[in-house]
Structure 1
Amino acid sequence: MERMQCDKCGHIYDKEEGDKKNNVAPGTAWADVPADYKCPECGAGKESFIVE
């Protein structure tokens, strides 16, 4: 299971769930999430996410 956490607000990106709000399909590995990805909760960039 791959989960990444926004270090600004605590939002969790879970590979199994993807991110409907940002059109990231379930099963999408973090490495394959677009570089311009923004946290759906606070708008922080992909670089603000850390391994949970």
Structure 2
Amino acid sequence: MADPKDMYQCQVSNCGYIYDPDKGNAKTNIPPGTAFKDIPDDWQCPFCGSSKKTFRPLAGPGSVLAEGI
């Protein structure tokens, strides 16, 4: 499993999908080993369909934990 700072979670209410770069996402044709920053900007959450902009890292700068949200 990837380091939490490399994993991103969808922040849309009732979703919470976590993108793990070690797994990629077969449903949206993202191969394993693809960093979140390398996913196309028009990519959408495979569960709720929200944009890539709704995702935040699980840990580190920009994460919900780091910002105290």
**Runs of 5+ consecutive residues of structure 2 not aligned to the other structure:** 59-69
Q: RMSD value over aligned CA atoms?
A: 0.6
The structure in which a higher percent of residues are helix is: 2
TM-score under structure 2 length normalisation: 0.73
More strand by share: 1
Considering only CA atoms, is the larger Rg found in Structure 1 or Structure 2? 2
Q: Normalization by structure 1: what TM-score?
A: 0.95
Point out which structure has higher relative CO (alpha carbons under 8 A, 6+ apart).
Answer: 1
How many residues are paired up? 52
| Identity over aligned pairs, percent | 44
